[in-house]
Amino acid sequence: MKKLSILTAGILMVFMLATVTFYTSCTDPCKDVSCLNAGTCVDGTCNCASGYEGDDCSSEIRTKFKGPWTAADGCSLSGSASYGVSVSSGTGIFDVKITNVWNSFVNSVDATVNGTTITILTQEPDNDGYTVSGTGTINESGNSITWSFTVSDSSSGLSDVCTSTWTN
Per residue in 129-163, pLDDT (tens digit) is 999 999 999 999 999 999 999 999 999 999 999 99
**How many Cα atoms are found within 13 Å in the side-chain-facing hemisphere of 133?**
7
Q: What average pLDDT does the structure give for the chain?
A: 90
The Cα–Cα gap between 139 and 119 comes to 15
Domain 66-167 has CATH 2.40.128.420: yes
Residue 65 has pLDDT above 90, yes or no: yes
Provide the pLDDT confidence category of residue 6 given band limits of 50, 70 and 90. Answer: low
String of DSSP letters for 82-138: EEEEEEEE-SSTTEEEEESGGGT-SSPEEEEEETTEEEEEEE-TTSSSEEEEEEEEE
Assigned CATH topology for domain 2-59: Laminin (2.10.25)
> Which run of H or E residues covers position 17?
helix 2-25
Are the beta carbons of 42 and 30 closer than 8 angstroms? yes
Residue 51 has pLDDT above 50, yes or no: yes
What's the whole-number mean pLDDT along residues 61-72? 98
Name the amino acid, one letter, at 51: G
Per residue in 88-137, pLDDT (tens digit) is 999 999 999 999 999 999 999 999 999 999 999 999 999 999 999 999 99
Residue 5 has pLDDT above 70, yes or no: no
Q: How far is CA 20 from CA 6, 12, 65, 144, 147, in A?
A: 21, 12, 50, 53, 58
The Cα–Cα gap between 106 and 157 comes to 21
Q: What is the pLDDT of residue 74?
A: 98
Q: What is the pLDDT of residue 19?
A: 47
Cα 20 from chain centroid? 43
Overall size of the chain counted in residues: 168
Q: What is the pLDDT of residue 11?
A: 57
Domain boundaries of the chain, sorted by first residue: 2-59, 66-167
β-bridge mates for residue 149, sequence order = 134, 162
Residue 21 has pLDDT above 50, yes or no: no
